Structures are given as C-alpha cells and as structure tokens.
Amino acid sequence: RFCETPREAAGFMSKVVGIDLGTSNSVVAYYKDGKAVALPDAEGRTIHPSVVAFGYGRSTVVGHRAKQQLTYAPENTIFSSKRLIGQRFASPEVQRLRAAVSWGVTEGPNKDVRIRVQGKLYTVPEISAHVLTHMRQIAEEALGETVDQAVITVPAYFNDQQRQATRDAATIAGLECMRIINEPTAAA
C-alpha cells in the first residue's frame, strides 16, 4: 500500500476485487493470504460468460443463464460486446462483428457504437456494466461484504478511449475503478 485513500482516512474500508472483464468470459478475484483467489458463484463456478440477455419486460440476465438464452433468443442476447467498447462505428472490427451477430449494432450520435435490443439503444459501456454488476454480486455473495472498488483488466492494445469506456462501465455498475491494468501484467 502506498497511502491511505480518502475513504480509508475517513474510517471506511471496503473490499477491493480484481475483475478480468473478458470478451468471452469474466472472472472476479480477491487477494487473500498472499494470493489471488477466484471467487465462485452459488453453484461453485469461477468462470462466467460475458453474455447479457434481455428478456421480456425489464428482466436482464447475465452469465451462464444468459448464454443459455443464446440458442433460443439470439436477437436479445449480447456477446462479444467488449470488441465494440471505445470503437468508432466505421471501424473494421465493428463492421465485422455487426455482420456476425443477430442483435443490432448502430451508429450513435458521436459516431460511436450503440447496441439495439428490443427496440432500445444501449451504449457499449452500459452492456459491460451488466457484466461488471454480475461480477460484483458474485464477489459480495462470496465475501459476505459490500464490494464497491475494483481493479479491472483490459487488453494491452486498448487505447485511451477503450480504457475510459471500461472505466465508464465500472461507474455505471456502481464500482470505483481503482486502476485499469493490462491483461499480461495481471497474468504475471
């Protein structure tokens, strides 16, 4: 630890978790007794699909349940959205993914990417926030405490826009992003 945060100085301590926000799967971990421990969900799983499924009404599911919905409602099930984060609509990666998915990928007001599901538009950070919220809930259940701070991994090639969009997703999910770190650094 380098120094106390303002929250610590005020006497408030919370758990800080590490979240590997992956394109296909995500993991949440906590540093305990000198090592990182992947936190399991109620079924004991530590690896969770980075998939968000919109049901009818206001229901949204994330993870394993969302991945199951992919087979019978692909137009309402978002996967691989991390490939779109911080991208411009005209980029080759966006156009490639746009042609490969059943859900809508449209241009936003600032030439950014929007995802259309059930007639509603979402920003990519909003979709990522659903995954981060799911990871946060898993951590809170596993630790038995509130989690509101996280270190989040991103690919080393992510540019400043993509890193900021990841921070924005954390904010939407109610997490203070303590740091963004490169995935190779996290693996080391």
3-state helix, strand and coil shares in percent for the chain, rounded to the nearest 5 = 35, 30, 35
6-15, 79-88, 158-167: range with lowest mean pLDDT: 6-15
What is the overall mean pLDDT for the chain?
90
Measuring CA to CA, which residue among 169, 183, 80, 179 is closest to residue 133? 169
% of the chain surpassing 90 pLDDT: 80
pLDDT in tens, 75-132: 999 999 999 999 999 999 999 999 999 999 999 999 999 999 998 999 999 999 999 9
Q: In sequence order, what are the beta bridge partners of 30?
A: 37
Backbone angles phi, psi at 134, to 5 degrees: -60, -45
Mark 31-51 as b/e (b = at least 16 C-beta within 10 Å).
eeeeeeeebebeeeeeebbbb
Rg (CA), the chain: 17
- Please give the model's pTM, rounded to 2 decimal places: 0.89
Query: What is the per-residue pLDDT for 187?
Result: 76
